Structure 1
Amino acid sequence: MLNVLAPSQLEQWRSDGYLLLPSFFAPEEVKEMLDEAKRLCDDFDIEGHPMTAFKTAADGEHVGDDYFLNSGDKIRYFLEPSSTSPATASQPAKLLVPPSQSINKVGHALAVLNPVFKRYTLQNDKIKGIAGDLGEQEDPRVLQSMIICKQPRIGGTVPCHNDSTFLYTDPPSAIGCWIALEDCTPTNGCLSFLPGSHKRARISSRFVRDPSGKGTTFIDIPEVKKNEENWDEMDGWKEADCKAGTLVLIHGSVMHKSPPNHSDKTRFIYTFHMIEGAQGTVYDEKNWLQPTKEMPFPSLLE
């Protein structure tokens, strides 16, 4: 297995809870991924689509229909909320922009089902080397692989959060790999982080399948929730603007967010997560994203 990270980079990762690796992918590799991402968007057929929009907590609700819940072993399209007109009792929602420009994200099994993204995830020696260098997971399993588009002028806010809330294991183990396919700037929605917050933040809620069987919901972890800090208003946030080809590693407990894209430029990225698959770490049936018998979460190191 390749050794990819220098000791100073590992030290920064442990200190900050995130790490930017510029030029991790060569320009020709980035172009291949970006071209494939744009091809997928161009091939999107709105005919028969349930008009499922990806909503965040900032919108007051979260996506949760069957199209979303059953996407773990498929490639599906989720719309920007502002790309559609509101649905009424007499009028279904309609697109306000061309279909290829309406997409918030495409997921959630690209790393398994799409040959291009599989090559840069499960079949990539440098990614395997990263997982080995971090040394935090004995058997890293890949899940939630997706393109996030951050469309011009309508790409929405991603509020302050940490990833283990959405991909919960006991004990928490999520690590995100976030790849810039285009330059990411403060004007088109780059990430911001609160360095070191992973050392203090505990998982205060979980994003789960609603026990009623209808969609998704958040459930509090009471002993943590009552002592939760207001991370969004703390000092010390740092913008993580970066060039295309940068790999950003994201600890599952570090607080991060991104602003809306009010620019006329896209902000395409590809991202996937790793969780511990070794015995002793539990990924339970409450989580919104579930493996299937036909497609369990694949092991990165096999």
Structure 2
Amino acid sequence: MTLSEQQRQDWDKDGYLLLKRFYSTERINQINALIDHLWKQRRKLGAEYVIDIFVESPDERRVYFADAPISARSKPYKLNDLYLSQADIRQLIIGQDLAPILQALLQGTPMVCNTLNFEFGSQQDYHFDTFYMPSPTPNKMVASWIALEDTTPDNGPLSYYPGSHKIPPYRFSNGSTIIVDDEMPQFRDYVYGEIKQRDLKPATLFANKGDVLIWHSQLFHGGSKIADPTMTRKSLVTHYFTNEDFPDLTPPKVCEHGGYMDRAAQTVDYPFKAKNWLQRLLG
């Protein structure tokens, strides 16, 4: 698939693209079956499988998937970096279907740096991805979000501000866009002031199974509150840099269009402690 002129204009104006029914129900069902299988077999899995459990709660922590209690599956969690071990995941996120679109948007060779499998909405506050993993070259990072089931008003859909990618990045006292927690009040004053001045309005995504949303690293986005905690909202999120920004890593090629960052799994901390993007990605 190649981008149409209208899609390019929409990307430049809004900072995201929605690809409706991009993947078939059959293909998405295969991914959901894989997640079910991994949960059942998790006690046999090695240290390359890492999960954040009880996300957005005081009990949030990162553990080996093999150590995750079954109760963790009924609460928001993030299953990290399945692309490292699962070819089916790699083919979905960087295979021949999606990679050419990513390449066109990045104007470079897309390289997977992480994946996050969700079974519930994230409920994460509005944020820029550059809070956590700014690309070495500005604007050379995008994210994809693949709907593994339909979203509804009750299962915590994604929300974002179209056009917010044009807001000049906020610089924290560290000189970068990497978040400094104590400075968030100043950041919020800045970004919501910009949003008001630009008359930007939030949008909520009600996606169908198989839809793919791609967004700019500077799109202001988050997860809505889950109105019905019994409802899942399965999804797969991937962040991409470019091969050109990491010439020394020479990641293995998945296909002719892109590659992935071949690295160790993220480290397990007790309790979970956030790290900067380079530490989190490269250990």
Normalized against structure 1, the TM-score is what?
A: 0.67
Contiguous gaps of at least 5 residues in structure 1: 48-70, 88-93, 208-215, 293-302
Out of 64, 76, 101, the position equivalent to 2:74 is 101
For residue 129 of structure 1, report the CA deviation from its aligned partner: 1.3
Out of 6, 10, 27, the position equivalent to 2:8 is 10
2-structure distance, mates of 1:98, 1:280: 39
Give identity over the alignment, percent.
Answer: 20
Alignment of 1:112-131 (within 5 A): 112-122=84-94, 124-131=95-102
2-structure distance, mates of 1:250, 1:42: 33
1-structure distance, mates of 2:277, 2:51: 23
Contiguous gaps of at least 5 residues in structure 2: 62-67, 250-275
12 and 220 in structure 1: CA distance in 2 versus 1, 3 angstrom threshold: farther
- Residue 287 of structure 1 aligns to a residue whose secondary structure is helix
Out of 167, 170, 180, the position equivalent to 1:218 is 180
Residue aligning to 1:246: 211
Residue aligning to 1:181: 148
- Residue 278 of structure 2 aligns to a residue whose secondary structure is coil
One-letter identity of the residue aligned with 1:126: D
For residue 196 of structure 1, report the CA deviation from its aligned partner: 0.5
1-structure distance, mates of 2:56, 2:182: 29
How many residues matched?
A: 241
Out of 219, 228, 235, the position equivalent to 1:269 is 235
One-letter identity of the residue aligned with 2:191: E
2-structure distance, mates of 1:219, 1:170: 22
- Residue 121 of structure 1 aligns to a residue whose secondary structure is helix
266 and 274 in structure 1: CA distance in 2 versus 1, 3 angstrom threshold: same
- Residue 228 of structure 1 aligns to a residue whose secondary structure is helix
1-structure distance, mates of 2:8, 2:212: 14
Check the 8 A contact 1:170/1:282 in 2, yes or no.
no
Computed over aligned residues only, the root mean square deviation of the Cα atoms, in angstroms, reads 3.8
Residue aligning to 2:225: 260
Residue aligning to 1:197: 164
Normalized against structure 2, the TM-score is what?
A: 0.72
2-structure distance, mates of 1:121, 1:289: 20
Out of 90, 109, 134, the position equivalent to 1:139 is 109
Check the 8 A contact 1:174/1:276 in 2, yes or no.
yes
221 and 159 in structure 1: CA distance in 2 versus 1, 3 angstrom threshold: closer
For residue 205 of structure 1, report the CA deviation from its aligned partner: 4.5
For residue 174 of structure 1, report the CA deviation from its aligned partner: 1.6
Residue aligning to 1:56: none
